Amino acid sequence: MSVRGHGTLVAVGFPAAALLAVGLWSDLHSAGLDIGIAAAVVLVALTALAKKIDLVVAPRTSVSLAGPFLVAAALVGGPLLGVCAGAATQVFTTSDVWRKRSSYAGAGAVQGFVVGLVGEQLAQRGTSGAVASATVGLLTGLALNAASIVLVALDRDIKLRAELLASWRAILTSWLLPAPLLVAFLYLFHTASALALAFAAGVLLVLAEGNRFRRRLERSLAEERSRARVDALTNASNRYALAEALTAEQARIRRGGRPAALCFLDLDRFKRVNDSYGYAAGDALLVDVYQRLRGELRASDLVFRWGGEEFVVLAPHVERPEVRDFAERLRLLIATRPFSIDGRPRTITGSVGAVLLDEGRPGEAALEEASRLVRKAKVTRNSAVVDNTLDGAAKAQLSRAL
């Protein structure tokens, strides 16, 4: 059975390549670290933690900072420490499948090993040495990172061009933007290693705090956006959410999905409830109406409060012949069972205007037509009026028949 397309080859190949490289290198050199154990542990830990921090560089684009920390560890600690730091990038990514974790851990180990080899050939003393080492190390890491993306894409049958177009900005930013900080770290490390490690830890701490603040702000904004789209009285989605839902639904329909029913529901004689029992009773009735609709309709059907005593229902996957039945069902949901008003059962009716939402007209136009039809239904009350206009395909078929 072929494993191509699932990422198994790179999941096994990258770690195997890293182990083979370390084995061959150990035979030719005395295996060991170029720095102390304590400093090595700190650098590996910082690299692992850096993988958990996402730096947003553009809308919907965030990058990990593990790459520069991996390069720093490999340049000062040699190939063996580079391998350890690369493998450590996947320590905290427990939610990913094993193939993905193994692929990225192996790719990171290979990157760390190669950068470590390059670092051994470069003089890192002084400002010029730090600049040269940082530049070569980052470019080497960048090239290996791009190569690993290509190999993963080929093995998993991912469209390579689309993958590179989607990630090129993130790749360049994550590897090249931290260059000045890496130069400062390398310069400090060979004069005061403890200060350099403290500097790296401080940078990571600042980034972590900034990332936590960003996430908290994003959650707050998401909550505000959510509250702005929810009716305060009934907890139903409001007309702003309806506009977004109509756009999303029509996009689904244009991709070949089935059409939807769009219904306006207006409670009959609602003003009489307010006048007879008070506004609190009217508010309670609106809440009960929404809860009944939400409880009786399908989970995929969306219920919105338009305003006052008006509700809008968007029901996906409803064909033209089914619109009338759906509108009648809405009417019966209100009329056939009484509501409790002021502690007593009271029968309330509603008028419904329904249209078919398809790709033939904009969502706003369909909504306007549904509101016109519900006004027509209000003339007799407790009725459902449905748009019987033929869609474009039916008109064309009728013209050809004539």
Q: Domains in the chain, ordered, with CATH? A: 8-227 (1.10.1760.20), 239-401 (3.30.70.270)
Q: Which pLDDT score is estimated for 344?
A: 93
Cβ–Cβ under 8 Å, residues 207 and 199: no
Looking at residue 336, the DSSP 8-state letter turns out to be S
Q: Which pLDDT score is estimated for 51?
A: 87
Regarding beta strands 61-64 and 344-346, do their DSSP bridges make them parallel or antiparallel, or are they unpaired?
unpaired
Between CA 74 and CA 143 the distance in angstroms is 15
Between CA 55 and CA 172 the distance in angstroms is 13
Residues of the chain with pLDDT under 50: 1-4, 390-402
Regarding beta strands 350-357 and 260-267, do their DSSP bridges make them parallel or antiparallel, or are they unpaired?
antiparallel
Q: How many other CB atoms are found less than 10 A from the CB of residue 219?
A: 10
pTM, two decimal places = 0.59
pLDDT digits (tens, 9 = 90+) for 305-338: 999 999 999 999 999 999 999 999 999 999 999 9
Regarding beta strands 384-386 and 54-58, do their DSSP bridges make them parallel or antiparallel, or are they unpaired?
unpaired
Between CA 267 and CA 13 the distance in angstroms is 66
Q: Which pLDDT score is estimated for 397?
A: 40
pLDDT digits (tens, 9 = 90+) for 173-182: 777 788 899 9
Between CA 327 and CA 329 the distance in angstroms is 5
